[in-house]
Amino acid sequence: MDYKDYKPVDVHGQLKPLLNEKKLKNVAEGLVNAGIDAGSVQYRIENTQIVQLPSEGTGPPFFVHGVPKRADRPLHPNAGSCPIALENVRRVGQHFVLVEILRWQLLMLANPYAYMPHCITWATAERLPQACGSATKDGIWKRVIETMLYLCLALEDHVVGFNADIGNSLDWLHLVSHRPPNGHGLYPGQQVAQRLNESGEEGVTMLGPDHAYPIDIWCIRFRDPAVATEICVDLIARWQDLGGEFASANCVAAMEDDMPVLYIVPRTRLLRACGWYSMPACLEMLGVFIAARDWEISRVRRGVWGYNHFWRVLASLRPPRVESLRKGV
């Protein structure tokens, strides 16, 4: 299947005309606009307090985005009340588009608790757990990575994220995507990866404490999505062998210089962040913290929490066994 092709399966309400658009990106944009018009999506970039925390050394700046009402989102509801289950979406009258992509049906929803512009949730129509299980050549992990790369290519300017069973607020299998704010630039982790690979060549680049970043990230950069997927699945499988039953990962896909790039962050569910209320997810791993509570952004604005504080937050989540994974690459 070509990355620009998809099969619409079901559409709700006024979104039907959008199915005549060739690109999935246009459908996603129309879905968000419909949510804004209906009042279900309340995010506005002009109401978001964005604070840049400059480094005094060689590291990249960190960012904190204060997002009103983000803390109101449901956290780990049971399957019967999960807000991304199709029957519940229909019941509340939320706009949706159900599409078929890469052998499974995905429910497209504009996130009512958006944390960035054009936040879309991509949930499996079939009830599947957010925890993907063992990474195998034909398992769920492979399908998730393939879908991330597909959406990255199709949406063009969106960042696509996946939090396995760490940093997620819903336990129904879903991915998320958003469009970075205009003028924001690359996220801190991306800045470090580009600095380490100035030529932009294909390959695998490792970020970590020895490269001015507090946590280990594997940057997988290949034009062929099949190659990137194979390397990613193998990396996660090896991390699962090292990290045991608590091993997990955060994943991000983004277009950089017309090439899809994957960022894989080994995590362990044994660790909780030092100095941060929520469980950090894929965006935080790239150096962008979503402050969902007024007192959090207040501490940043008043200078109580500075650059070193957020470096420590990330460093506290570095898994003890990750050094063995680094040596094996």
211 pLDDT tier (thresholds 50, 70, 90): confident
Give the residue from 158, 150, 64 showing the smallest Cα distance to 111.
158
pTM of the model as a whole: 0.94
Q: List the structure tokens of 96.
A: 């949706």
In a 3-state reduction of DSSP, which class is residue 95?
coil
Return left, alpha or beta for 200; rule: phi > 0 is left, psi -120 to 50 is alpha, else beta.
left
Give the angle 187-111-123 at the CA atoms, nearest 5°.
95
328 DSSP assignment = T
Task: Tell me what pLDDT residue 22 has.
Answer: 61
Q: Which residue has the higher pLDDT, 221 or 95?
A: 221
Per-residue model confidence (pLDDT) at position 13? 52
Q: How high is the pLDDT of residue 58?
A: 84
Instruction: Give the per-residue pLDDT at 1.
Output: 42
Q: Are 37 and 17 in contact (CB under 8 A)?
A: no
277-310 residue pLDDT tens: 999 999 999 999 999 999 999 999 999 999 999 9
All structural domains of the chain with their residue ranges:
7-327
pLDDT at 56: 82
Predicted confidence (pLDDT) at residue 167 exceeds the cutoff of 60: yes
Q: What is the pLDDT of residues 87-126, one digit of tens each?
A: 999 898 888 988 888 888 999 999 999 999 999 999 999 9
Which band of pLDDT confidence, cut at 50, 70 and 90, is reported for residue 6?
A: low
The reported pLDDT for the residue numbered 74 is 84
Token pair of 314 as six digits:
């990330």
The better pLDDT of the pair 74, 187 is held by 187
Is residue 323 exposed (0-12), middle (13-18) or buried (19+ Cβ within 10 Å)? middle
Q: What whole-number percentage of the chain has pLDDT above 70?
A: 93
Q: Which CATH architecture has domain 7-327?
A: 2-Layer Sandwich (3.30)
Two tokens, residue 140: 């769920």
Q: Is 206 strand, coil or helix?
A: strand
Non-local CB neighbours of 29 within 8 Å, separated by 6+ positions: 118
